[in-house]
Structure 1
């Protein structure tokens, strides 16, 4: 006889359990939830609902047991509960996949892939931590032989692609920079990150990184948070760069964030200048800094470079060199370091004419772009034709667009995957008040989307700043065939009145007033004349101030001029070479099974353009005649500028192939006779037979991109030996 509980009858239980029983035992859990949950937010809602149903089911089972229900009813309820848990697991898997971008839903897969790449890079000496025998120093790395070769090839192609093809003026300026230069540029006052300290040990951390890590960990690992909480965390990530020290500190306290290593409480955030300070000369009275960028050396040399260029605009100056930033807590390997190589271009142009004569060469390029309106509306990056982006006003001007196009071509020819490259426009809160437009070339890696190149229209800010500080006019002239009567806008900040009103913020208010457009200035003039004061937003202060008639005069004056004197605008592409190289490593890294199928072999699919070694030469067996032929081929390759390496060890040819594949060597010559040899291509592992005399010419032609491997392989007989594979 079945016992019935006054709390829960078996009939009541069956009514409850039927409300959350799986639709069909034949349906996969993924099929059940697929129609209702496709986005991350809907997946989170589905997960929360499923958890609620599981909790109710668990309570129902406990009540059945306490009421003495039959074993059949309890077993049926447990079976239904287990099915619900499977459905929950499936939703979690989909949610992890949505967060991590991994088809298998494994959040750890990116980390595992990254570790495989880093292990290979360090083992093959592409790079290693600096001062390793002394336990190293965070944020400093040494490039080994293959790493140096890759870096040299990348920089060589950068010079070819930009300096030579665009007829740029290359300069090389000192790393040690006097304080006055960096004071004028704003680095001394503004080049800071917010730092917090472990209150017990004094260990320093970058405050925004701690908050960013907390938000990301919650989103990726705590799958039980509500969609509302997830939206809040995503919003914080979106505005992270815009948070003040007070706001950042408040969030750290609200979320209970503590020191990662010790779990000790943290101090309030405070600014830390990232520049390495030094002194010039033995007296110590002339302060200086290790430069945080290479651009200032170009700006201070503008007058001489303009003269060298025949007093003509537009022109561009370029510089490759080391830069230094005293990162608070460097991590992410080569992506965030304390000493790194920058390659920067300053393209000086008439602010009234930002067209570009070679714009037509790039306007039909089509690639992933992420304009600010898509970002702010929550959409993803989209493929856009560059010319369309300019015509719609998404990209500010032709010259800026031209360099965006050239950067795209540079990165993709290096070997960056087109599908994992996008150009993201800066949001309003990221833009300096003087910038007309700014885009970042971002490359997707195991760390997410990484900014590797910044392309900015910086207007005339830098030259004006150094003009004001040095007293030397960094300007250009346009001579008129006939005198012209021109109307000029004159904005004159009254520095005494502004100083009394704004004290330490006076300089930023002055800069903002001087940077006003004509429309903004005339609107301010009208407001001052009618009201006596106006509200004025100062971007660098992130607030609105009140400006009165005493603080600024705005007028238009008519003058006859024989020439126009103006401060050029500058378009600045700035390349983080180490970041580009690391992303190239990840995009080129692959594994494939060995011939026996008992292990996975690593290889880098570098294009010949950047491969550290273009060709290896192997005598098939240790044989004096074969070694003489190998020496002859090696010398002929060197004579035509092809880097190569001989391997005359007695190991099997398959192992030698695997060894050089792991270095990313694109071609291998195997000497198996004295008259002809085989050339193997790394990615396909296909081989062709070529006469000894032709080897250097063939490898040079395909290495320099004058012919593809497919084209070459059709001209020569294929080689299909059992030894051709691993």
Structure 2
């Protein structure tokens, strides 16, 4: 039996090897590559497409099915008025700077971050505080040290660390000041950069043959949820709370897309809009996650120039006001559970709270699930409390009331002054201005209506929003006190929104689960969890002889009927190489059919990470594999159900 110990290399993570593997095995590649490609656009190959589909399937199970969410599929092209109303046309922008000589465009905050982090890394190199990289990169490392290994004063190090801790809180002018103060230049050319300018990230489009209807490619799926709120509420029998969910493409015209899938212009999002009563943001399942521990980096720590996380249970964070409410806390816990389930290293996951200046225009509170990788900490999930912003602005713009109604146990009786218009007289006197005038009077406060009531006999002046002045008398309007009995409460729901960038998550999963064996450092292993692995089982026949064909067909058919995706590798390559190249694809299990399989109907089962093997009857092995893939048992459980394989191959 093979050694059950996982013999990983002691070297630090090697991104060059991973990138070579992903390119060689076509997980993804630059789109339009034979035409030179376009930055920020990628095509997924067979393993990448399968991996993304499996992540989406698990996301759907974890959220839509377990939380009884209502799934939507809305349009990508969106009329401009929708994004004008939502605020995206005016505010959905990043700050960019231009190289003063070449005209190259860089995103300002990324430029500052990259340069300061490089200087801090150079300081650590100069002080001998950074571990040696792998031997293959020795020449590159020495070349880099010559240009970046410079000791910094302790005061400067502290300043850099403080800036980086609160970088997301800086405005455009602030970023410009930092570039000047710390002599930050374009690292590719060493040229100075100009003043930061805002750049809207949405792709403009048009609808119709003459372009008479301007539009945009959506930068998020959220607006499709909000515009369908009334239909969703009706489908849910008028009950609040409830959640809608959407998985689909979004588009952002990134200023300088880099780092592969971490910053792209077209990507897949999975978004949830959870509608709650603004007066009750508790969650009925909160007790299920109360004791879940989270690594939290709150805004107060960041604004003080530090980046230490606090480990807290969700319950303690909500009770202490660190997390605003139960529903927000519940989703943070569920986000963490999902990410860990699909293979994210929990020790490299944190939740960072947005600071004041970086908060989106629609949010009252927001936490990002950030995952550490070779590019640093990367936001992969945002969880925002959007309050009632979106439903309110779309309702005001369209006149369609996007509200919920709740029957009150006890009616509320109130008295208030109300204006009563003489429609015939007011219409005849004010003509086209009548509607605006009535709207202005309806908007008067109780105090203003009382004054109007007392002055109507003498004539009273109203200033409308358009700036026109009108004199009203008792012939046009009267003001009376009326009693109102309210048995229905009408309110605009608040929205808690978890938003997932699936491409970023996919790439980071590959990083977190990539390693090489000590005995074969040139071949990588992707230790992807079975639930998301592109291929679950590799079928390896030891011979291409005719008597193996029915058996291979039988095993393949039984696995398919069990819902398990498998591949057959009947090439002439050695069995070791066949398994090794499928370890690169993340295939967790392999079954081998040898001559004993033909004679005795036995089959061996191999586990990817340990390379240990078990043996049993074909049907027994398929049952065990099914339970392994579905997560009903782990490898230790499989070892109790099947016998250890001693490595002796049957001979013809």
TM-score, normalised with respect to structure 1: 0.72
- 1:721 maps to 2:651: no
SS of the aligned residue for 1:163 comes to helix
Could you list the runs of 5+ residues in structure 2 that have no partner in the other structure? 1-9, 124-149, 417-442, 444-481
SS of the aligned residue for 2:357 comes to helix
Q: Distance in 2 between matches of 1:295 and 1:188?
A: 15
Q: Distance in 1 between matches of 2:154 and 2:415?
A: 57
Q: Distance in 2 between matches of 1:576 and 1:689?
A: 41
- 1:248 maps to 2:248: no
Partner of 1:710: 636
Partner of 1:37: none
Q: Superposition pairs for residues 445-464 of structure 1, below 5 Å? A: 445-464=373-392
Q: Distance in 2 between matches of 1:599 and 1:269?
A: 45
Q: 2:45 aligns with which of 144, 157, 166?
A: 144
Q: CA deviation at 1:376?
A: 4.5
Q: CA deviation at 1:580?
A: 0.8
244-253 vs 581-590, which moves further: 244-253
Partner of 1:29: none
Q: Superposition pairs for residues 109-258 of structure 1, below 5 Å? A: 113-222=14-123, 223-258=150-185
Q: CA deviation at 1:470?
A: 1.6
Partner of 1:604: 526
Partner of 1:690: 616
- 2:362/2:390 contact within 8 Å kept: no
- Describe the shift of the 1:403–1:391 C-alpha distance in structure 2 as closer, same or farther (beyond 3 A): same
Partner of 2:567: 645
- Describe the shift of the 1:441–1:558 C-alpha distance in structure 2 as closer, same or farther (beyond 3 A): farther
SS of the aligned residue for 2:14 comes to helix
- 1:570 maps to 2:492: no
- 2:525/2:586 contact within 8 Å kept: yes
457-466 vs 209-218, which moves further: 209-218
Higher helix share: 1
The CA RMSD measured in Å over matched residues stands at 2.4
Partner of 2:427: none
The CA deviation string for residues 418-438 of structure 1, in whole angstroms up to 9 with x for no partner, is 111112222233334663422
Q: Superposition pairs for residues 265-664 of structure 1, below 5 Å? A: 265-376=192-303, 378=306, 380-432=308-360, 435-485=363-413, 560-594=485-519, 599-664=521-586
The CA deviation string for residues 614-648 of structure 1, in whole angstroms up to 9 with x for no partner, is 00101123322223312210111111110000011
Q: Superposition pairs for residues 38-117 of structure 1, below 5 Å? A: 113-117=14-18
Q: CA deviation at 1:608?
A: 0.5
Q: Distance in 2 between matches of 1:570 and 1:287?
A: 28
SS of the aligned residue for 2:264 comes to coil
Q: CA deviation at 1:581?
A: 0.8
Q: Distance in 1 between matches of 2:169 and 2:342?
A: 34
Q: Distance in 1 between matches of 2:344 and 2:483?
A: 53
- 2:291/2:315 contact within 8 Å kept: yes
Q: Distance in 2 between matches of 1:451 and 1:477?
A: 36
- 1:113/1:446 contact within 8 Å kept: no
Q: Distance in 2 between matches of 1:219 and 1:302?
A: 49
Q: CA deviation at 1:235?
A: 2.7
Q: Distance in 2 between matches of 1:436 and 1:624?
A: 68
Q: Distance in 2 between matches of 1:300 and 1:441?
A: 27
Q: Distance in 2 between matches of 1:433 and 1:327?
A: 19
- Describe the shift of the 1:721–1:645 C-alpha distance in structure 2 as closer, same or farther (beyond 3 A): same
Q: Distance in 1 between matches of 2:637 and 2:483?
A: 67
Q: Distance in 1 between matches of 2:273 and 2:575?
A: 50
The CA deviation string for residues 351-396 of structure 1, in whole angstroms up to 9 with x for no partner, is 0011111111111112322233444453621321111111112111
363-372 vs 695-704, which moves further: 363-372
- 2:261/2:507 contact within 8 Å kept: yes
The CA deviation string for residues 580-639 of structure 1, in whole angstroms up to 9 with x for no partner, is 111111111111133xxx644310111110000000101123322223312210111111
SS of the aligned residue for 1:458 comes to strand
TM-score, normalised with respect to structure 2: 0.80
- Describe the shift of the 1:250–1:379 C-alpha distance in structure 2 as closer, same or farther (beyond 3 A): closer
Q: Distance in 2 between matches of 1:719 and 1:444?
A: 39
Name which structure has the greater RCO, CA cutoff 8 Å, separation 6+: 2
Q: Distance in 2 between matches of 1:599 and 1:563?
A: 69
Q: 1:701 aligns with which of 623, 627, 631?
A: 627
Q: CA deviation at 1:296?
A: 0.6
Q: CA deviation at 1:246?
A: 2.8
- 2:171/2:357 contact within 8 Å kept: no
- 1:485/1:558 contact within 8 Å kept: yes
Q: Distance in 1 between matches of 2:361 and 2:592?
A: 61
Q: CA deviation at 1:343?
A: 0.2
SS of the aligned residue for 2:573 comes to coil
- 1:653/1:723 contact within 8 Å kept: no
SS of the aligned residue for 2:643 comes to coil
Partner of 2:437: none
Q: Distance in 2 between matches of 1:273 and 1:429?
A: 17
- Describe the shift of the 1:263–1:436 C-alpha distance in structure 2 as closer, same or farther (beyond 3 A): closer
- Describe the shift of the 1:558–1:460 C-alpha distance in structure 2 as closer, same or farther (beyond 3 A): farther
SS of the aligned residue for 2:257 comes to coil
- 1:396/1:436 contact within 8 Å kept: no
Q: CA deviation at 1:659?
A: 0.8
SS of the aligned residue for 2:396 comes to helix
Q: Distance in 1 between matches of 2:376 and 2:98?
A: 27
SS of the aligned residue for 2:116 comes to helix
SS of the aligned residue for 2:387 comes to coil
- 2:283/2:327 contact within 8 Å kept: yes
Q: Distance in 1 between matches of 2:395 and 2:614?
A: 63
- 1:295/1:344 contact within 8 Å kept: yes
